[in-house]
Amino acid sequence: MDNALRPTPATPIAGAPRGAIPATARAAHALRRTAVALTLAAGLLAGGALGGCATPRASRTVYRTLPPKTSVADVQVFTDGRPSRPFEEVGLIEVSKFGRVDYGRLIERARGEAATMGADAILVTRETEVVSTNTSGGVSAPNKRGGRTVNSSTTTLDRQRVTVTAIVWTDR
């Protein structure tokens, strides 16, 4: 069959009203719309999973290698000052996450990292770092009385960060 005579999905069916779309073309279009909708939904779900519920990111610098603790519960947490017992620093851990996050989650992540380093305790420093601030606004056209509406919006993206010093007791 000659290519010019080969039917395509957009070729009208004999006897169909002018401008009618063949059933195969309608089905293909509906399938594409469904695929696009599913792709968008998956992207939104992934965005929520990665942005809102993502595990805080941790990095660590180890000064001294020790066997890991058997439990995270074996690592004490000091948030207000230094312990009275003598200790040695064995590493530094930084845990961070963009957006709103509970500091407890950051500290628990740091505590888990410290347990794998073999630390007896962690000394916590809390920080919030502003990464960017975006302010936008506008003024409307005059209304019938000559008044205008002014609006503005400010969005701040911040990163919550906890820096801890991992320590071991030296008086054992």
Q: What is the pLDDT of residues 38-56, one digit of tens each?
A: 554 444 444 444 445 567 8
Establish if 24 belongs to a structural domain: no
Report if residue 106 sits inside a domain: yes
Structure-block tokens of residue 119: 């630390």
Which domain does 85 fall in, by range?
A: 57-134+157-169
> 84 lies in a domain?
yes
Specify if 45 maps to a domain. Answer: no
Q: How confident is the model at residue 33 (pLDDT cuts 50, 70, 90)?
A: low
- What's the pLDDT score for residue 49? 40
Cα distance between residue 162 and residue 77, in whole Å: 12
Q: Is residue 152 part of a domain?
A: no
126 pLDDT more than 60: yes
Higher per-residue pLDDT: 42 or 113:
113
pLDDT at 19: 54
CA distance linking residue 65 with residue 119, whole number of Å: 10
The pLDDT of residue 94 is above 70: yes
Which two three-digit tokens encode residue 100?
């709103």
Q: What's the number of domains the chain is made of?
A: 1
**Model confidence band, residue 123 (pLDDT cutoffs 50, 70, 90):** very high
Write the CATH number for 119: 3.30.110.70
Does residue 125 fall inside a structural domain?
A: yes
Q: Report if residue 91 sits inside a domain.
A: yes
Does 43 map to a domain? no
Is it the case that residue 138 has pLDDT exceeding 80?
Answer: no
What integer is the mean pLDDT of 157-163? 79
pLDDT band at 149 (very low <50, low <70, confident <90, very high): confident
Q: Tens digits of per-residue pLDDT, 54-77?
A: 678 888 999 999 999 999 999 999
Specify the pLDDT at position 48: 43
> Mean per-residue pLDDT for 142-155?
76
